[in-house]
């Protein structure tokens, strides 16, 4: 029976420890992916906000060029 073999393999301490460690590592990886995505979204929002803030400065008329002083 295949079901019986699955039960006995989980009874081995070494396999149980590896299985638990793998589950913990998978959970940490998924949490890191989620946090990374949240940081990426926040950074994109901050960049948009900054661009909206400085947009009037970018579209303003540049100041006239300074005239060189005359040498006498």
Whether the Cβ atoms of residue 5 and residue 15 lie closer than 8 Å to each other: no
Rounded mean pLDDT, 44-66:
75
Sign of CA dihedral 37, 38, 39, 40: positive
pLDDT at 51: 85
Residues 8-19: pLDDT tens digits? 877 888 988 999
Confidence of residue 60 (pLDDT cuts 50, 70, 90): low
Sign of CA dihedral 53, 59, 65, 66: negative
First-to-final CA distance of the chain: 106
CA triple 54-55-57, angle to 5 deg: 70
Dig out the tokens for 16 from the structure: 């149980």
Domain boundaries, the chain: 24-56
Percent of the chain having pLDDT more than 70? 72
The model's pTM: 0.55
């Amino acid at each position: 029976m295949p079901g019986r073999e699955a039960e006995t393999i989980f009874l081995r301490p070494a396999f149980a420890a590896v299985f638990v460690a793998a589950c913990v590592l998978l959970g940490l990886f998924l949490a890191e992916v989620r946090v990374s995505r949240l940081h990426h979204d926040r950074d994109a929002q901050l960049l948009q906000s900054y661009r909206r803030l400085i947009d009037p400065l970018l579209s303003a008329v540049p100041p006239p060029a300074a005239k060189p002083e005359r040498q006498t």
